[in-house]
Copies of this chain bind each other. A is one copy, B any other.
């Protein structure tokens, strides 16, 4: 497809497309050259990929409210559908030139997920019936190369669909239709909590979020029934879990990332009308997430170890090889810490070394002087 046709398909002008192409990354997957939009840009979703003459739309950024009671009626008209937001990594599947490919949030083809999905679900009947579909969902579970989180019913890695969009336009199916279709094709989906009148939704969502919190789950995505309007809200467990993780690698995570999660906690304690006692408890948990995580990492470095993002994956030898090639191809420093065979699979524990945190902690311990 020529650039002219791409800009028409994306629904943006030629000038806008030309300026967009300057920010696109060129990559190749299995001999196929493609381009993608790795960052947020005006006019087109982050993660949009142009590949083999096809457009694969990025998944839209989901806006967030800090206060349910006021945010929900601001955002929705009549009815709010509530589903679970899962803590894993976002993936979109599309069939390109006969092959089902997995696209990451930023629009890269993920060779690991592309291969691994076959174990979990058979997407062929779906794409035979709907070749223009984009299957959107989350890869969750502990044996996860990007974002590991435990779910009681997931031993290794699982897929949960949460959206179905047109690959080219990005338009979603209405929630009911989407859920019925995934059921028909036997694709597991994210948990559905219910559909509520906008005036009752804040109370219902609060109840759901508290239940999720008790199970250390992430939160909810609220949707208009037609699937076009999305709004998210997360549990305190997710906020604090993110903070603990970020502060274990304090010089590699953005300060804005940390700050936003602190702010969410403050508005949540206010909206819930927590007593001084309960607010202090929350403050203590928050303080532990921050300080004790940093303390652990500094101790690790002090004792000669190194810190980083540690993951375990279980897959075929070939899938694991392409995963490591893929990660190293992005400039990540991968240290394999354990590599064993189990029931015909390779089970590998590896660490993505986070340079800044290791270096800065070491420097400060050695008495590096700060001229801040």
Residues on A close to B: CB < 8 A? 61, 63-67, 69-75, 231, 247, 250, 255-256, 258-260, 262-263, 265-267, 269-270, 279-280, 282-288, 290-292, 294-295, 298-299, 302, 364-372
Contacts and interface: CB of A to CB of B under 8 A. Distances in A.
Given A71-B367, A369-B71, A286 B291 contact: yes
Contacts of A74: 366-369
Given A259-B258, A302-B270, A370 B64 contact: yes
Contact of A290 (B256, B262, B294): B262
For the complex formed by this chain, how many copies does it contain in all? Answer: 2
Given A67-B365, A302-B270, A367-B74, A279 B262 contact: no
Contacts of A295: 266, 269-270, 279
Contacts of A65: 367, 369-370
A258 B372 CA distance: 12
Contacts of A280: 288, 292
A280 B284 CA distance: 8
Given A64-B372, A71-B369, A370-B65, A291 B270 contact: no
Given A367-B74, A370-B63, A292 B279 contact: yes
A256 B258 CA distance: 11
A362 B255 CA distance: 23
Contact of A73 (B63, B72, B367): B367
Nearest to A286: B287
A283 B287 contact: yes
25 contacts: A61-B371, A63-B370, A63-B371, A64-B370, A65-B370, A67-B367, A70-B366, A74-B366, A74-B368, A74-B369, A255-B255, A255-B258, A260-B370, A265-B291, A266-B298, A267-B298, A270-B295, A270-B365, A280-B292, A282-B291, A283-B287, A284-B284, A286-B291, A287-B287, A290-B290
A263 to B, nearest CB: 7
Contacts of A61: 371
Contacts of A302: 270
Contact of A288 (B255, B258, B283): B283
A292 B250 CA distance: 23
Given A266-B291, A283-B292, 4 more contacts: A74-B369, A255-B255, A279-B291, A280-B292
Contacts of A63: 369-371
A364 B69 CA distance: 11
A270 B286 contact: no
A63 to B, nearest CB: 5
A299 B275 CA distance: 12
Contacts of A279: 291-292, 295
Contacts of A259: 250, 255, 258
A74 to B, nearest CB: 4
A255 B266 CA distance: 16
Nearest to A288: B283
Contacts of A365: 67, 70, 267, 270
A247 B286 CA distance: 14
